[in-house]
Amino acid sequence: MKKRIAILGSTGSIGRQALEVLSAHSDRFELEVITAQQNAGLLIKQAIEFKPNFVVIGNEDLYSEVSDALFLHDIKVFAGEESISQIIDMDSVDIVLIALVGFAGLKPTIRAIEAGKRIALANKESLVVAGDLITKLAVEKRVSLIPVDSEHSAIFQCLSGENPDTIEKIYLTASGGPFRGKSWEEIQNATVAQALKHPNWNMGDKITIDSASMMNKGLEVMEAKWLFGLDPDQIDVITHPQSIVHSIVQFQDSSMKAQMGLPDMRLPIQYAFGFPDRLKSDFPRFDFLNYPQLTFEKPDIKIFRNLALAFEALERGGNMPCILNAANEIAVDAFLKNKIGFTRMPEIIEKSMERVDFVDKPTLDDYFLTDEATRIVAMEIINDNK
């Protein structure tokens, strides 16, 4: 039988590429649900083209626009954030791709686990914020969390058939983004357009800025801890400008496994949908002759301070990763709106980590309160320095 897929966040970069994967494997998968928060126009086009049974628009003010456009297409339309969570419960959904950006992915991720759904997880922030709660709940509900981030998918693939207890260390690779090798002075006046010009990957605005600041790699470090049950000192980051080696596992016998391929997010998406099977694809193939050199460097955490802050938050634990994540979301949004400079982002994050109350053993409610409080503090820091 075909696996029925719900894509939460179908209008984003991951969601759009996931639809390409489903289209190429219509014999294996059936699209059941697509959702979007604001982009009603694209959501409508996707619904008409891919014909899911259900559509959810998060912004309730856009319900009439979406509902009217799909009235003659026999597609059921719902609205509101709670509808996004509720629709996961349906028996007609087998796999949930959580492609929502930021803290917004936490509640649907928990809801999907509670509903016993297999999860293709592209929302790293839910594990960053509440990794302890999510992983424990996943074990309790016997739910598979299949990572979609290219680096974590690479680690996941390298560990197939291996005993996790034999891991000595993992290496998450980073492209270095558009500012690799630049000095602090050179990036102080970096523009939004420059920061969005990623050398290898085609991603959404938020994750592209995170990549430019190295915060994305910091978030991935925290995600890796929870996905693979690792200690912080078992996780390392290396800069790999070509983005061919997506990550590496080093085992206790000194051997290493790496997963390689051209940078294409459709591959980890397809792998998550098809697991444990590997599905055929017509994706471009890697040719060693086109890459006579694969190089690796140590990331510069003095210039890319966000990576150091992420490791600090991971070491402190508690609600500190939640504080870091919320402050980063506010800082990235402010940068994208030209309210702050590129190098002010780590300053805002660090000050927020100092000012927001630390909770050693947070509950789920504590995470939501921390997120709310941090966003207020981060905005105050931004406004105080205008």
* pLDDT tens digits along 267-301: 999 999 999 999 999 999 999 999 999 999 999 98
pLDDT tens for each residue of 299-312: 998 889 999 999 99
Mean per-residue pLDDT of the chain: 94
Residue whose pair of structure tokens reads 């998406």 in the numeric block: 269
Instruction: Name the residue among 181, 218, 177 with its Cα closest to residue 194.
Output: 177
CA distance 333 to 13: 17
* Token couple for 345: 């982002």
> Within 10 Å of residue 238's Cβ, how many Cβ atoms?
16
For residue 28, the 8-state DSSP code is T
pLDDT tens for each residue of 345-375: 999 999 999 999 999 999 999 999 999 999 9
Q: What pLDDT sits at residue 116?
A: 95
Domain boundary assignment for the chain: 3-147, 162-262+299-384
Cβ-Cβ contacts under 8 Å for 129 (sequence gap 6 or more): 103, 106, 321, 322, 325, 367, 371
Please determine, for residue 86, whether its predicted confidence score (pLDDT) is greater than 90.
no
| Percent helix, percent strand, percent coil in the chain, to nearest 5 | 50, 15, 35
Split at pLDDT 50, 70, 90, the class of 207 is: confident
For residue 30, the 8-state DSSP code is E
Q: Would you tell me which CATH number, out of the four given (3.40.50.300, 1.20.1530.20, 3.40.50.720, 3.40.50.10610), belongs to the domain 3-147?
A: 3.40.50.720
Please determine, for residue 129, whether its predicted confidence score (pLDDT) is greater than 70.
yes
Q: What percent of the chain clears pLDDT 70, i.e. is strictly above it?
A: 99
Instruction: Name the residue among 48, 41, 88, 42 with its Cα closest to residue 71.
Output: 48
Q: What is the DSSP pairing of strand 167-174 with strand 245-251?
A: antiparallel
Sheet of 76-79, strands arranged across: 76-79, 54-57, 29-36, 3-8, 95-98, 118-121, 145-147
Split at pLDDT 50, 70, 90, the class of 181 is: confident
pLDDT tens for each residue of 220-259: 999 999 999 999 999 999 999 999 999 999 999 999 999 9
Instruction: Name the residue among 106, 102, 121 with its Cα closest to residue 207.
Output: 102
Q: Which residue type sits at 154?
A: A
Split at pLDDT 50, 70, 90, the class of 200 is: confident
Show contacts of 38-41: CB within 8 Å, 24+ apart.
Answer: 38/62, 39/11, 40/65, 40/66
Split at pLDDT 50, 70, 90, the class of 104 is: confident
Per the omega criterion (within 30 degrees of 0), is the bond before 276 cis?
Answer: yes
CA distance 21 to 84: 22
Coil, strand or helix: which one is 212? helix
* Token couple for 289: 């002759």
Q: Supply the CATH classification number for the domain 162-262+299-384.
A: 1.10.1740.10
First to last CA, the chain: 58
Please determine, for residue 379, whether its predicted confidence score (pLDDT) is greater than 90.
yes
Q: What pLDDT sits at residue 189?
A: 87
> pTM for the complete prediction?
0.91
**φ/ψ (deg, to 5) at 98:** -95, 95
* Token couple for 265: 């997010």
Split at pLDDT 50, 70, 90, the class of 80 is: very high
Split at pLDDT 50, 70, 90, the class of 385 is: confident
Q: Which residue type sits at 319?
A: N
CA distance 315 to 160: 28
Instruction: Name the residue among 13, 372, 339 with its Cα closest to residue 207.
Output: 13
Q: What pLDDT sits at residue 8?
A: 96
Q: What pLDDT sits at residue 298?
A: 95
Split at pLDDT 50, 70, 90, the class of 109 is: very high
Task: Tell me the sheet residues that pair with 151.
Answer: none
Q: Which residue type sits at 260?
A: M
Average pLDDT over residues 52-64: 96
- How many CA atoms are closer than 13 Å to the CA of 221, on its beta-carbon side? 29
Q: Enumerate helices (H) and strands (E) in the chain, giving the number of each.
A: 16, 11
Q: What pLDDT sits at residue 386?
A: 58
Coil, strand or helix: which one is 96? strand
CA distance 148 to 274: 12
